[in-house]
A and B are shown apart, each in its own frame.
Chain A
Amino acid sequence: MHRTGENRMNATPVEESLREAAAGAIADGTVGVVIGYGHEAGSDVATPLFARTPEQARGLVFDATCVGNLAIYLPKPEVRALGRTGLVVKGCDLRAVNVLLREHVIEREDVFLIGVRCAGVCEPPLHKCTVCPVHDPSGCDVTLGDSVEQPTADASRANALVAEMEAKSIEERWEFWKRQMTKCVRCYACRQVCPLCYCKRCIVEKTTPQWVETSPHLRGNLAWNVVRAFHLTGRCVGCGECERVCPVDIPLGLLNQKMAGLMEQWFDFQSGLAPDEQAPFTTWDPNDPEEGIL
C-alpha cells in the first residue's frame, strides 16, 4: 500500500482528473488553496497536502491510503486566511462537511468541494467502508472517479459490535470499559482530530467549575469519554478518525456507533447526509418516546 513520491508520476485516471480540477481551481482563482492527499516517504497513510499553486496540485493522490478526514481543516482560522478552501472529500468526509454547514461553522460559499467516489480505503477495508451509505458524494462542486456500486444498507451489520456489547450484563460492560478507559492518557488526540470538535474552548478545559477531572485516573477518564461521546451524539458522522488516532486503542468508535444507532432508532436520523438536516438535539416532537420516564 505504501507508495513514495516517485509514484506520483504514474497517476491513475482519477488522480489525473483530481490534479486537473485542483490546478484549474487554483489557477482561475476559485480557491486560495486545495487541501487533499499527498504521499510522504515513510508514512503508510496519505498525508494532508496543501496545494496553493497549480504545480503543487501535481502532488495530489487518491488511493486506498487516503484515510484521513480533511474536513478538520475547514473551521481553522489559519486555513481560512489562505482564501476560499478547496477540499478533497470522500463520501464520509463530506458528511462531516455537511455537519459543519448545518451548524453554520462554515457557509457553502466558503468551500469548493472536490468529491471523489470511493469504494473504501485500507486493505482490508475499514469497518465504516463496508457499511458506508455514501460511496458517491453528492452536492460537491465537482465529483470525480468511476461510479461505485452502492450496496443497500444493512443496519444489523453496522450495529453488530454494539449488539454484542449490549448482550453483556451491566457488570461485564463496566469491566470492559474500565479496562479500556484505564489506558486513556488524556492526550485528547481524539478531540483534536475530530472535524466536529471545533469548540474554541472544550468543556474539559473549563475549570470554574471543573466539569471533567483532568487527572488521568479512571474516574476522570470515564467522565471525559462520556462527555466526548455525548457532545457528538447526533453529530458524529462515524469517520473513525478518533479511534484511529487513539494511541492506546480505546474502541471509541463503539461508543459513537452506539449513540448513532440510538439516533437512528429513536429519531430516524443519520448525521451528515444533507447540509440542511435538523439535528435531533436541536429540535423535538410532541410525540417523542416517553419510555422510562416516571
Chain B
Amino acid sequence: MTEKKTTAAQRDGTDWQPRIVAFLCNWCSYAGADLAGMSRNDYPAAIKIVRLPCSGRVDPMFVLKSFERGADMVLVSGCHPGDCHYSSGNYHARRKLPAFRELLGFMGIDPRRFKISWVSAAEGNKWSSLVADITEEAYALGPFQEFPKCTAPEKTG
C-alpha cells in the first residue's frame, strides 16, 4: 500500500500522527483494502489493520483494549448486510457494536472515536476515501489520552 505523508501534521507543525486500529473481515473489507492497494490508491498510513474472519468476531473488548494501548480511533469494517461469508456475522455485529458505542458515549468516551463501516471486496475506492476521511477526523479530535492515561490513582479530597 502506498504511504502518504498527511498534510494535517505539517499544518500543525507537530509530528503527531493519529493511530487508527482497524479490524477488518477477511472476506470483504480486507479484500477491499487490498484492492485499494493494488489499484495504487493513495491513503493515509495512520491505519493499522488487523485481519479477522468476520466483523461478528469483534468482541467489544478488542475496541476497549485498543484504546487502552493507545489507539486514537478504532474502526470495525465488514461485509455489507446480506453479504456475510458466514451469512449472519455482520448482522450480529450491527446489533452489538453500535450498542457498545452508545455505552462508551454514555460513559464519556467520545463515540466519534469508534467507527463502523461496510466495505465490500469491490470497494477499493470506498476504502481509500473512508480512511482519508476518518484520518482527517482523528487529526481533528487529537490524541486520545483520557482513557489510556488514567492509570494513576486519583488524589481525592
Q: Using Cβ atoms and an 8 Å threshold, which residues of chain B touch A220?
A: 151
**Number of A residues contacting the other chain (C-beta, 8 Å)?**
50
Q: How far is the CA of A280 from the CA of B95 in the complex (A)?
A: 8
Q: Is A170 a contact of B108 with CB atoms below 8 Å?
A: yes
Asked whether A109 is an interface residue with its Cβ less than 8 Å from the other chain, the reply is no
Q: How far is the CA of A175 from the CA of B109 in the complex (A)?
A: 10
Asked whether B152 is an interface residue with its Cβ less than 8 Å from the other chain, the reply is yes
Q: How far is the CA of A213 from the CA of B61 in the complex (A)?
A: 12
Asked whether B96 is an interface residue with its Cβ less than 8 Å from the other chain, the reply is yes
Q: Is A226 a contact of B64 with CB atoms below 8 Å?
A: yes
Interface SS majority for chain A: helix
- Number of cross-chain contacts by CB at 8 Å: 121
Q: Is A223 a contact of B98 with CB atoms below 8 Å?
A: no
Residue of A nearest to B56 (CB): A284
Asked whether B57 is an interface residue with its Cβ less than 8 Å from the other chain, the reply is no
Residue of B nearest to A177 (CB): B107
Q: A218-B154, A286-B82 are in contact. Are A294 and B130 (CB under 8 A)?
A: yes
Q: Using Cβ atoms and an 8 Å threshold, which residues of chain A touch B98?
A: 289, 291-293
Across the interface, A182 reaches (CB within 8 A) one of B100, B102, B134, B154, namely B154
Q: Is A294 a contact of B152 with CB atoms below 8 Å?
A: no
Asked whether B142 is an interface residue with its Cβ less than 8 Å from the other chain, the reply is no
Interface string of A172-183 (1 = CB under 8 A from B): 111111100010
Q: Is A182 a contact of B156 with CB atoms below 8 Å?
A: yes
Asked whether A165 is an interface residue with its Cβ less than 8 Å from the other chain, the reply is yes
Q: A178-B154, A222-B147 are in contact. Are A255 and B106 (CB under 8 A)?
A: yes
Binds B, one of A79-87, A143-151, A192-200, A227-235: A227-235
Residue of A nearest to B75 (CB): A294
Q: Using Cβ atoms and an 8 Å threshold, which residues of chain B touch A263?
A: 99
Asked whether B101 is an interface residue with its Cβ less than 8 Å from the other chain, the reply is yes
Q: How far is the CA of A226 from the CA of B59 in the complex (A)?
A: 13
Q: Using Cβ atoms and an 8 Å threshold, which residues of chain A touch B107?
A: 173-174, 177, 222, 225-226, 255
Asked whether B104 is an interface residue with its Cβ less than 8 Å from the other chain, the reply is yes
Q: How far is the CA of A226 from the CA of B110 in the complex (A)?
A: 14
Q: Is B116 a contact of A292 with CB atoms below 8 Å?
A: yes
- List residues of A (140-188) whose CB comes within 8 Å of B's CBs: 162, 165-166, 170-178, 182
Q: Using Cβ atoms and an 8 Å threshold, which residues of chain B touch A255?
A: 103, 106-107
Where the two chains meet, the residues of A that have a C-beta atom closer than 8 Å to any C-beta of B are 162, 165-166, 170-178, 182, 203, 211-213, 215-220, 222-223, 225-227, 229-230, 233, 255, 258-259, 262-263, 266-267, 280-281, 284-286, 288-294
Name the 5 nearest CB pairs between A and B, nearest first. Answer: A174-B108, A173-B108, A284-B91, A294-B117, A218-B150
> Can you identify 24 A-B contacts, CB atoms within 8 angstroms?
A165-B106, A173-B105, A174-B109, A176-B108, A177-B108, A182-B153, A182-B156, A213-B68, A216-B153, A217-B152, A217-B153, A219-B149, A219-B151, A220-B151, A222-B147, A226-B104, A258-B103, A259-B102, A267-B95, A281-B96, A286-B81, A293-B118, A294-B115, A294-B134
